[in-house]
Amino acid sequence: MQRYTEQIESSDIALEAPTNRPNEGLPIGNGRMGTLVWTALSSLEFQINRVDVFAVNRNAAGEHFSATGATTDYCGTCARLRVDCGNEPFRPSPDFRQDLSLHSARCAVDGRGVSAECWVAAEDDIMVVTITDDRETPLPIEVTLTLWR
């Protein structure tokens, strides 16, 4: 069993610089519900997805992951969740790191004085985000949930 764990862990994904586009985020999920996890300068960003949501309509332009604009044709995306920690802890720096553990299906993000761990429960459609603020003066966290259509 240990050998398999080591083989899986050898494929973990580590980002040493922030991504700023949703389609470059790291995926976590349970097969029904999932999210991409990426960062903005002061926030963690999540694209909440479910397998039973279709947002295509008869006027869809069919643009997928457009670098110049929003994707207009997609399946699964329900909402965007922004967890703003304030004061830009996730700006590019030697302190930044984002890891995806393929063995535990957890995403960890470390920034300047702020860290987070994210995962989706296997049996329920629950996403868990734990944030630790070790800055000298912790700041309030603002959470914003918006439809993504």
Domain of residue 83, CATH code: 2.70.98.50
Give the range of the structural domain holding residue 23, as residue numbers without chain letter.
Answer: 2-147
pLDDT in tens, 21-61: 888 999 999 999 999 999 999 999 999 999 888 766 555 55
pLDDT of residue 60: 54
* Of the candidate ranges 57-61, 88-92, 112-116, the one whose mean pLDDT is the lowest: 57-61
Distance in angstroms (rounded) separating the CA atoms of residues 144 and 33: 19
Would you say residue 84 has pLDDT above 90? yes
DSSP string, 61-73: ----S-SSS---S
Q: Is residue 2 very low, low, confident or very high in pLDDT (cuts 50, 70, 90)?
A: confident
Would you say residue 144 has pLDDT above 80? yes
pLDDT of residue 67: 61
Percent of the residues in the chain that have a pLDDT greater than 70, as a whole number:
85
Looking at residue 12, its amino acid is D
Into how many domains does the chain fold? 1
Read off the pTM: 0.84
Q: Report phi then psi at 81, rounded to 5.
A: -115, 125
pLDDT of residue 122: 93
